[in-house]
Amino acid sequence: MTEPVRIGILGAAQIAERAVVRPARSIGAEVVAVAARDLGRAQDYARTHSIAKAYGSYEELLADPEVEVVYNPSPNSEHVRWTLAALRAGKHVLSEKPFGSNADEARLVAGEPNPSGLVVFEGFHHRYHPTYLRLLELVGTGAIGEVTELRVDMKFDCSNLADIRWSWPLAGGSLMDLGCYTLHVGRDVAAALGGTLELRSATATANAAADSRIDATAHVEAVLPNGARAVLESSLEGPADTSILVTGTRGTIRQPNFIDLTGDDRLIVTVDGTETVEHHGTTSTYTHQLRAMEAAVREGAIFPTDLANAITNMDYVDEAYRLAGLPLRESKARPA
């Protein structure tokens, strides 16, 4: 039997329960430690989630020989810093998205020596669910004819302006937290059509009560390799929408929710006027992702959200900001 991977969590983040704690239990992996900058907070988190060890600093967790894989859900501005620290400590890394503050910062990870072939895995969890994979398959096989338009929405109402998504020092913004998904989907659909996504224009709006450098909403126009239009929208101001719609000459493919399929795993395919609703399972996207991470660590399996893909996606995020006339998020990590 394959030995379960042993995971340590950097930060007592709320997302960690959905992204790692529950999925680990479902696949037999082990969360062996959690760290926070406040030891009491780490201990509370460890008690709540039955984690054996709690540390009052990230450095202590990275020094723990029992930890093999580090889950990095730190603020956007800290992602690369702690990914580099984990690699230098000899740990595999599952990093939350976006991978860094900007593409140049992300490239610091590619420049880091990695003679042991440690896995660097970006957490675009939707990429591993069978429903999303089926959508890409249908696009690639021409099930709805020639694709004429792609629309991807990633929106939710983050009305609390104290949330880190609104923070310039912490590399916030709708493109950073949400648009990184829409761009990723656009790139995947373009690849299914045999080419790459080309960004053409972008616009953004700010919240009057927030930092003007932070995009509350973003609208990106792009072109698929066959010349079809792609519309990619993100918003921190709602309304909630995490859907994909692909339109073709013979019909449509719609995934109503590509992020949380635990309650809605529908893929709605309409061809020549006939609608079919496919179901590919309500196992969470995070569980599928953690299985892929485990296979990469234990078996050397290839996976799509690798370091090269992460850097490319940050290139797209940076280009969208340039097109929208907004500054890139500032790098915090530095070379060794």
Mean pLDDT throughout 64-92? 98
The answer to whether residue 59 is domain-embedded is yes
* Range(s) of the domain holding residue 156: 130-282
Q: Where are the beta strands (DSSP E) in 206-321?
A: 217-223, 229-235, 237-248, 251-255, 266-271, 274-279
What distance in Å separates the CA atoms of residue 139 and residue 193, rounded to the nearest whole number? 7
> Tens of pLDDT along 63-75?
999 999 999 999 9
Q: What does the block give as tokens for 27?
A: 């696949």
What distance in Å separates the CA atoms of residue 305 and residue 293, rounded to the nearest whole number? 10
Are 145 and 264 in the same domain? yes
Mean pLDDT throughout 208-223? 98
Are 172 and 257 in the same domain? yes
Mean pLDDT throughout 173-181? 98
Is the pLDDT reported for residue 318 higher than 70?
A: yes
> Tens of pLDDT along 230-285?
999 999 999 999 999 999 999 999 999 999 999 999 999 999 999 999 999 999 99
Q: What does the block give as tokens for 98?
A: 């976006």
The answer to whether residue 56 is domain-embedded is yes
Are 101 and 153 in the same domain? no
Is the pLDDT reported for residue 328 higher than 90?
A: yes
How many independent structural domains does the chain possess? Answer: 2
Are 259 and 201 in the same domain? yes
Question: pLDDT band at 152, cuts 50/70/90?
Answer: very high
Are 193 and 252 in the same domain? yes
Domain CATH code at residue 231: 3.30.360.10
What distance in Å separates the CA atoms of residue 311 and residue 292, rounded to the nearest whole number? 20
What distance in Å separates the CA atoms of residue 197 and residue 183, rounded to the nearest whole number? 9
Q: Helix or strand or coil: residue 237?
A: strand
Strands of the 69-72 sheet, one edge to the other: 53-55, 30-35, 6-10, 69-72, 92-95, 120-122
Q: Helix or strand or coil: residue 155?
A: strand
Q: What was the pLDDT predicted at 1?
A: 59
The answer to whether residue 335 is domain-embedded is no
The answer to whether residue 108 is domain-embedded is yes
- Residue 194, Cβ neighbours under 10 Å: how many? 10
In this structure, what are the phi and psi dihedrals at residue 205, rounded to the nearest 5 degrees? Answer: -120, 155
Mean pLDDT throughout 97-119? 97
The answer to whether residue 82 is domain-embedded is yes
Using omega within 30 degrees of 0 as the cis cutoff, is the peptide bond preceding 98 cis?
yes
- Where do we find the tokens 């969360």? 31
Are 241 and 159 in the same domain? yes
Q: What was the pLDDT predicted at 335?
A: 75
Question: pLDDT band at 50, cuts 50/70/90?
Answer: very high
Domain CATH code at residue 60: 3.40.50.720
Classify residue 213 as exposed, middle or buried by CB count within 10 Å of its CB (0-12, 13-18, 19+). Answer: middle
Are 275 and 140 in the same domain? yes
Contact 269, 138 (CB under 8 A): yes
Are 297 and 270 in the same domain? no
The answer to whether residue 159 is domain-embedded is yes
Q: What was the pLDDT predicted at 2?
A: 77
Beta strands 229-235 and 147-157, pairing class: parallel
Catalytic residue among 53, 91, 97, 155: 97
CA distances from 256 to 39, 58, 155, 263 (A): 41, 38, 13, 11
Are 115 and 156 in the same domain? no
The answer to whether residue 316 is domain-embedded is no
Q: What was the pLDDT predicted at 334?
A: 82
HSE of 66 in the Cβ direction (CA atoms, 13 Å)? 14
Mean pLDDT, all residues of the chain:
97
Are 89 and 156 in the same domain? no
Concatenated DSSP letters of 166-209: G-TTTT--HIIIIIHHHHHHHHHHHHHTTS--EEEEEEEE--TT
Torsion angle of the four alpha carbons 23, 253, 194, 97, in this order, in degrees rounded to the nearest 10: -30
Are 162 and 113 in the same domain? no
The answer to whether residue 14 is domain-embedded is yes
Are 97 and 196 in the same domain? no
155 among known catalytic residues: no
